[in-house]
């Protein structure tokens, strides 16, 4: 039975006092036994939290009380186990890091396309469909026909756009006219910034999936869907499919890559320690540390106790 509510939200909005929001926001989350991660920056807020429905509702109510966040939208899904171990409210230079100066997604992002209208748009001739996520996310699922920039991090995307804008490439102008571009990402936040970048670079007909893949999987029936595979999510669920049901993948505790049956059948996979993606890049000392952490996790499980483990390496 699904007992825990997960809520994902973001908004690009001017928050010059974002540092002053950190402590009271963390307090209201802790008081309501809500866990997850919320990022605050001068450009806005980005977070995913989970807990009992009443606790999550209390945090959202607190956020909505700020007039700048009164229309903050969120996406909901359910989980049988709490998908986060801690509650973190972090101050950042950007709520999603692209490292491009002068972007203002709150005012210059592309046109929103509702999930119900997405299939029609991406089926139109001449529309270039771009997956704005990283390679490990695209590997487990994407829309049919989408371009994969094969980025390792979101900050790699500007260079890919610049390269693909050159003559003969996917985003190049034809007879002086730049192509129509439709972009998508997990929840929508990366597309807001990506489409703002495209418009800064002279692309006029730029669209993005409102609410991201998660909203599409929530609202579009599977029998009429153009989504293929699973959608990676940044919590203990690892992935979700249509209806936002938790998928079958597991997470490598060493490198945070999603693992399916093929990876887990590899001789380089050892639960909680290494997988084929990171086996060659972890030192013996690191592997020993992960092995001890896994031993402690299994010991706690045998005692029916919670164990948060050592802090996992952050994705760069």
Active site residues: 185
CA-to-CA separations, 146 to 131, 160, 264, in angstroms, rounded: 6, 15, 27
- Cα separation, 287 vs 282, whole angstroms: 7
The first and second tokens of residue 114, run together, are 């509702």
Q: For residues 187 and 241, what is the distance between their CA atoms, to the nearest angstrom?
A: 14
Q: Which of 45, 120, 30 is nearest to 90 (CA)?
A: 45
List the structure tokens of 215: 């909203």
Tell me the sheet residues that pair with 129.
182
> What torsion do the CA atoms of 79, 84, 85, 91 make, to the nearest 10 degrees?
-160
Read off the tokens for 135.
């390679």
- Radius of gyration over every alpha carbon of the chain, rounded to an integer in angstroms: 20
d(CA 182, CA 147): 10
CB 247 within 8 A of CB 157: no
């Amino acid at each position: 039975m699904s007992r825990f509510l997960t809520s994902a939200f973001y908004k690009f909005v001017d928050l010059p006092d974002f540092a002053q929001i950190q402590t009271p926001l963390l307090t209201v989350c802790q008081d309501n036994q809500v866990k997850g991660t919320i990022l605050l920056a001068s450009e806005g807020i980005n977070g995913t939290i989970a807990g009992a429905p009443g606790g999550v509702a209390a945090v959202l109510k607190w956020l909505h009380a700020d007039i700048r966040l009164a229309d903050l939208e969120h996406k909901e899904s359910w989980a049988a186990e709490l998908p986060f171990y801690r509650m973190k409210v972090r101050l950042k230079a950007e709520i999603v890091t692209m490292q491009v100066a002068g972007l203002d997604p709150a005012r210059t992002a592309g046109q929103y396309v509702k999930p119900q209208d997405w299939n029609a748009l991406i089926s139109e001739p001449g529309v270039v469909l771009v997956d704005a996520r990283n390679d490990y996310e695209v590997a487990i699922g994407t829309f049919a026909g989408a371009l994969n920039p094969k980025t390792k991090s979101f900050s790699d995307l500007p260079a890919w756009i610049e390269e693909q804008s050159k003559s003969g490439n996917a985003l190049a102008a034809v007879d002086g006219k730049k192509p129509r571009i439709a972009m998508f990402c997990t929840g929508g936040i990366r597309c807001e910034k990506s489409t703002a970048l495209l418009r800064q670079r002279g692309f006029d007909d730029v669209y993005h999936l409102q609410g991201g893949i998660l909203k599409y999987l929530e609202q579009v029936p599977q029998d009429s869907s153009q989504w293929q595979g699973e959608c990676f999510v940044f919590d203990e669920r690892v992935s979700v499919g249509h209806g936002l049901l938790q998928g079958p993948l597991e997470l490598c505790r060493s490198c945070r890559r999603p693992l399916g049956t093929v990876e887990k059948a590899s001789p380089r996979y050892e639960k909680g320690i290494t997988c084929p993606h990171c086996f060659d890049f972890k030192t013996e000392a690191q592997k020993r540390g992960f092995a001890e952490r896994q031993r402690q996790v299994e010991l706690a499980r045998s005692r029916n106790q919670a164990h948060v483990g050592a802090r996992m390496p952050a994705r760069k």
